[in-house]
């Protein structure tokens, strides 16, 4: 399911203190492809993901998901850095929550939840609650909760940013495995160059605010992918290219912040 963004503009606030967050952003995110959105803090990458998901209204331009004219958010599900799990509900009840809201009968939703819990490596933890789980395990619960909705588009806003380095590697490989099996259209927001290259079919590099698309880098690394690719010459060339593009934008973002403080 294609996502098409045309001349997207997002302005926060009102004159004279208005902030131009996104400025005439246009891009076609291809169906069943994994796109990583890379940029400095405050460039509007999370804002764009939330607009695509129908979570946030936008100022002007057009955003379409698929070709059936359904409202934004109909075909997508969001995975956040802050997982928003219900601490008082068990793992199986957290995973099945979306189906419960839809009115799916308990036996059916629990059966589907159990299959997904097993698929993300949490078999045996169905009756645990989030406070009893590690950070990586909670992230797996959040992934299963998103996957159970069976939406063709998955929007992910820095979902692994708070994890320790070892757990992040495991979760990245888990997401790659899920993507290669399900072939959803994925928009993945990140600050990390290596993560963007390891996961994505393309990396959309954004400028400092106001957010524009600076360049789109095709990632032609073969799948399936694993951490071993990080040390290959092909990965290194892609990393150097992305670093060259993003370094200037990070410096620009820092200058903006200094100007605001000054």
Lowest mean pLDDT of 145-159, 160-174, 235-249, name the range.
Answer: 160-174
pLDDT at 254: 79
Spacing of C-alpha 106 from chain mean position: 29
Enter the tokens of residue 2.
């294609």
Report, as an integer, the average pLDDT of 208-212. 91
pLDDT at 262: 60
Interval 83-135: pLDDT, tens: 789 999 999 999 999 999 999 999 999 999 999 999 888 999 999 999 999 88
Interval 13-22: pLDDT, tens: 887 888 999 9
Report, as an integer, the average pLDDT of 220-248. 92
In angstroms, the Cα distances linking 253 to 58, 83, 208, 260 are 22, 27, 5, 11
Contact predicate 147/98, CB 8 Å = no
Sorted by sequence, the CB contacts under 8 Å of residue 147 that are 6+ apart come out as 116, 119, 178, 182
What percent of the chain has a predicted confidence (pLDDT) above 90? 66
Report, as an integer, the average pLDDT of 151-166. 90
**Which of residues 259 and 34 earns the better pLDDT score?**
34
Please provide the CATH number assigned to the domain covering 1-75+153-250.
3.40.50.300
CA trace torsion 137, 126, 154, 49 (10° rounding)? -60
Enter the tokens of residue 112.
């589907």
Q: Would you place residue 246 in the very low, low, confident or very high pLDDT band (cuts 50, 70, 90)? A: very high
Domain ranges of the chain: 1-75+153-250, 84-150
Q: Would you place residue 166 in the very low, low, confident or very high pLDDT band (cuts 50, 70, 90)? A: confident
Q: DSSP states of 241-257 as a string?
A: HHHHHHHHHHHHHHHHH
Report, as an integer, the average pLDDT of 35-45. 92
**Which of residues 9 and 183 earns the better pLDDT score?**
9
Interval 55-85: pLDDT, tens: 999 999 999 998 888 999 999 999 887 778 9
* Angstrom distance (rounded) from CA 121 to CA 144: 10
Is the model's pTM score more than 0.85?
yes
Lowest mean pLDDT of 54-63, 96-105, 171-180, 247-256, name the range.
Answer: 247-256
pLDDT at 252: 79
Report, as an integer, the average pLDDT of 140-161. 91
Q: Would you place residue 173 in the very low, low, confident or very high pLDDT band (cuts 50, 70, 90)? A: confident
Strand partners, 37: 189, 204
């Amino acid at each position: 399911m294609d996502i098409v963004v045309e001349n997207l503009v997002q302005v926060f606030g009102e004159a004279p203190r208005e902030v131009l967050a996104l400025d005439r952003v246009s891009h076609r995110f291809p169906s069943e492809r994994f796109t990583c959105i890379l940029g400095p803090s405050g460039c509007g990458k999370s804002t764009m993901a939330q607009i695509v998901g129908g979570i946030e209204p936008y100022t002007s331009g057009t955003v379409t998901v698929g070709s059936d004219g359904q409202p934004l958010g109909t075909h997508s599900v969001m995975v956040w850095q802050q997982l928003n799990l219900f601490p008082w509900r068990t793992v199986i009840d957290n995973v099945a929550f979306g189906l419960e809201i839809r009115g799916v009968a308990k036996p059916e939703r629990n059966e589907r939840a159990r299959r997904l819990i097993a698929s993300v490596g949490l078999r045996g933890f169905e009756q645990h609650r989030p406070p009893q789980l590690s950070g990586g395990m909670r992230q797996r619960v959040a992934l299963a909760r998103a996957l159970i909705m069976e939406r063709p588009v998955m929007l992910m806003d820095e979902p692994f940013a708070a994890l320790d380095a070892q757990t992040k590697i495991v979760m990245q490989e888990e997401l790659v495995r899920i993507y290669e099996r399900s072939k959803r259209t994925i928009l993945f927001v990140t600050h990390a160059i290596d993560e963007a290259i390891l996961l994505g079919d393309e990396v959309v590099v954004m400028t400092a605010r106001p957010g524009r698309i600076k360049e789109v880098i095709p990632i032609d690394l073969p799948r399936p992918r694993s951490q071993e690719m990080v040390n290959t010459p092909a990965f290194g060339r892609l990393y150097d290219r992305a670093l060259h593009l993003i370094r200037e934008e990070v410096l620009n973002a820092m200058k903006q912040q200094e100007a605001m403080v000054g």
